[in-house]
Amino acid sequence: MSGFSAARQYMVDGQVRPSDVTDERILDAMLTVPREVFVPADRQALAYLDLDLDVAEKGAGQRCLIKPALLAKMLQATDIKNTDRVLIVGCATGYAAALVARFAAEVIATESDPALTAKATAALAQLGAQNVTVRTAAAADGDAAGAPFDVIVLNGATEIIPTGLYAQLKEGGRLVGVFAPSQPPRVSLVTHFNKDYGHRELFDGTAPVLPGLERLPAFVF
């Protein structure tokens, strides 16, 4: 077993399974998709650690692949079906999109940094992921042209209520992300039924806030 293959196995057995992730499709995807492909060469040794891994070019502002166990738990919470169309918001270099592409019908991935959009497109093409499209767009904008979606996954945290993304959910659709309008941040599941949106807190979780989903600074007199 190669070094990266062994690290991938340890990530699943040591981080993901102990976090109560039991969906075999997610576990299989994480055992199969080479996370190091989505990480700059000088940081590949960190690819399988339990951390939010910055994949942006130096000086470009932090953009992360969120912690593997957190991502796996979020994906499990949405109960993605093999007929679902899924939107990944803030995809960075595309790792989350590569995972979801293995068990969803179609994946649209958006990223606000054009350089990362290009890297995500190249990495996904390298792996032969044919049901994924990567687009450059602000996190709050989602992909209105491609909406509605069965599932929306925030690949990071939001400090605001992303109502524009809620509007891109199908009836019966689900949105998951780290909601951090106050402390402590919580992973929450938003569901769309009967033209209304239910909001259920699932578990504690932290992740870097996605650009464009930050809390506006308070005005001080």
Residues 6+ apart with CB under 8 A from 156: 64, 66, 89, 90, 139, 177, 178, 207, 208, 209, 210, 213
Give residue 58's pLDDT: 75
CATH number of the domain bearing residue 14: 3.40.50.150
In a domain, 197, yes or no: yes
Question: Where are the alpha helices (H) located in 79-189, listed in sequence order?
Answer: 95-100, 114-126, 163-166
Phi-psi category of residue 116: left, alpha or beta, with phi > 0 → left and psi -120 to 50 → alpha? alpha
d(CA 123, CA 193) in angstroms, rounded, equals 36
145, pLDDT greater than 90: yes
- The least confident of 58-67, 97-106, 147-156 is 58-67
**213 belongs to a structural domain:** no
Tell me, yes or no, whether 220 lies in a domain.
no
The SS3 of residue 180 is coil
Identify whether 62 is part of a domain. Answer: yes
Give this prediction's pTM. Answer: 0.95
Confirm whether 28 is domain-assigned. yes
Domain span holding position 122 = 3-204
- pLDDT higher than threshold 60 for residue 17: yes
Would 214 be classed as within a structural domain? no
Domain presence at residue 217? no
Question: How many domains, the chain?
Answer: 1
Q: Is 187 in a helix, a strand, or coil?
A: strand
Structure confidence by residue, pLDDT tens digits, 49-91 = 999 999 998 766 789 999 999 999 999 999 999 999 999 999 9
